[in-house]
Amino acid sequence: MDLKLVRAELNAKPKKIDLAKIEDKVAKKESVIFYFDKDNSHKDLLELQDHFEAQGKSFYMNEVKYGLGDNDYMYQVHIMA
């Protein structure tokens, strides 16, 4: 599963991160926050949630608005051991 990290600039393409890299970062720290781009499917993020909750980790996901437009948002994901 590849997910897109949030864009650094509005016109830039989002960088991708795979599940193995996410797991590696979560294994190194007890609490990790990721910001994912709006181009990710909500279904993929729910699969990510199921994956980490099956491991006994806490998973919190929020939609963060950063502008007035309907498409001005990103996903904030907080994973804790």
What pLDDT band is residue 81 in, cutting at 50, 70 and 90? confident
The beta strand positions in the chain, using DSSP E, are: 2-4, 16-18, 31-36, 58-65, 73-80
pTM reported for the whole predicted model: 0.90
User: Phi, psi at residue 15, to the nearest 5°?
Assistant: -85, 150
Is the pLDDT at 37 greater than 90, yes or no?
A: yes
- What is the domain partition of the chain in residue ranges? 2-8+30-80
Three-state SS for 5? strand
